[in-house]
Amino acid sequence: MTKGVNSAPNKASLSLKKASSKHKTLQDALTLEKHPLEVSSVNSNPNSEAEASINSHVTVLLDEAVHALAIKPNGIYVDGTFGRGGHSKKILAQLGAAGRLIAFDRDLSAIEAGKAIDDPRFSMVHSHFAAMQKKLAEMGVTQVDGILLDIGISSPQIDEASRGFSFRYDAPLDMRMDQSSGKTAAEFLAITTEQQLSEVIKNYGEERFAKPIARAIITERNDGRAITTTGQLAKVVAGAVTRFEPGQNPATRTFQALRIFINQELEELSLTMPQCLALLAPQGRLAVISFHSLEDRIVKQFIRDQENRDNLPANFPVRASELPQPKLVAVGKAIKPSAAEVKRNPRSRSAVLRVAERTSVL
């Protein structure tokens, strides 16, 4: 079954103010990792890499993530980020005849790829994962045994020039993961203010030249040269950055920031974590792979907040047994790809997998 539903929240509703204050508190701990799919192509061969991956995505932490779900053969599982189905196929291989896998993706090409899986145990839903609980309820599913999120962008998305995610090609500046809804990056640049743009670039890209970059973009627009292509944007950004980082295209951070903003990536994750908790059956597992320190922080903090029973003042007279019991507990420590995986697939290098288990506490 393929459902053509999409209800991505309006980007205009995104509270930039809220994002800014949140990120101020994160600033110290924030180490902006270059997204593995957005690193400058200086050391790679973009053509061969792109050709190879327009229709394929090398799944990251495949064994680790599926193992972390501790699949019950007759369980119900959710893959919130189908991509090209690497994790989904492995989950299906471990499910029995009565098992079920429901996969989500907001990208129409991913949905097309999902149609190739002809398996009665499998359903594909076109939706952003922040609508997971609602979409599952519409399918009569209120409890599941495991949820996987492998967030971020896929290789086909970055390598298909027309998607407008990459400064490696000159193409229309789109950057929407869901091609069917929302504003493109070009449309956003046509209406944003210098102040808002500067905040987006600073908060989501941790770009120290955010202000001059925003000024240069708005100046171009005001001079009648609206920025509508990736090539134009990369050129204007390069002109505004006065100190380059070795081995990195000067537009890397700006492209990353716009992508995160356009797709509301952090908001999606923050809205979805509580839904995962609400959906998981006792002993159900949540496995989240993130590629950016801001995303990983949201996941880590959510699990920690759920685990933390002890929010009482020091020396408060209460027995351990009287403390409320956690609904979710972390399983092991954060898992990173092995050296062998990073060698095999350099795009995996900033991945972090966190796993948590739902307890029986109501």
Ligand X SMILES: C[S@@+](CC[C@H](N)C(=O)[O-])C[C@H]1O[C@@H](n2cnc3c(N)ncnc32)[C@H](O)[C@@H]1O
Nearer to ligand X, 87 or 358 (CB): 87
- Positive or negative, the CA dihedral 219, 220, 222, 223 is positive
Listed in order, strand segments (DSSP E) in 130-278 are 144-150
Tell me, residue by residue from 283 to 322, as one string, x for binding to ligand X by CB under 6 A and - for no binding.
Answer: ----------------------------------------
Question: Binding of ligand X at residue 110 (CB under 6 A)?
Answer: yes
Of residues 86 through 105, those in contact with ligand X by CB under 6 A are: 86-87, 104-105
Question: Binding of ligand X at residue 85 (CB under 6 A)?
Answer: yes
Nearer to ligand X, 188 or 209 (CB): 188
Nearer to ligand X, 217 or 298 (CB): 298
Phi, psi of 147 (to 5 degrees): -135, 130
The residues, any chain, with a CB within 8 Å of residue 234's CB and separated by 6 or more, are 167, 249, 251, 255
Whether 167 contacts 249, CB under 8 Å: yes
Contact pick of 57, 176, 235, 358 for ligand X (by CB under 6 A): 57
Question: Binding of ligand X at residue 38 (CB under 6 A)?
Answer: no
CB of 52 to ligand X, least distance (A): 15
Q: Describe the crossing of helices 252-262 and 194-205 by its angle, rounded to 10 degrees.
A: 100
The one segment of 39-47, 151-159, 190-198, 237-245 that binds ligand X by CB under 6 A: 151-159
Phi, psi of 229 (to 5 degrees): -130, 160
Tell me, residue by residue from 235 to 274, as one string, x for binding to ligand X by CB under 6 A and - for no binding.
Answer: ---------------------------------x------
Contact pick of 154, 254, 256, 290 for ligand X (by CB under 6 A): 154
Whether 125 contacts 132, CB under 8 Å: no
The β-bridge partners of 144 are: 280
Instruction: Note the helical H segments in 13-142.
Output: 16-26, 46-53, 62-68, 86-94, 108-115, 132-138
Residues in contact with ligand X, counted by CB under 6 A, come to a total of 21
Whether 36 contacts 293, CB under 8 Å: no
Nearer to ligand X, 132 or 186 (CB): 132
Contact pick of 34, 72, 84, 347 for ligand X (by CB under 6 A): 84
Give exposure, 335-345, as e/b (b: 16+ Cβ within 10 Å).
Answer: bbbeeebbeeb
Contact pick of 36, 64, 68, 83 for ligand X (by CB under 6 A): 83
Of residues 118 through 147, those in contact with ligand X by CB under 6 A are: 128-129
The one segment of 68-76, 79-87, 201-209, 324-332 that binds ligand X by CB under 6 A: 79-87
β-bridge pairing 328-330 and 352-358:
antiparallel
Instruction: Note the helical H segments in 100-179.
Output: 108-115, 132-138, 155-159
Residues forming the site for ligand X (CB under 6 A)? 57, 59, 81, 83-87, 104-107, 110, 128-129, 150-152, 154, 177, 268
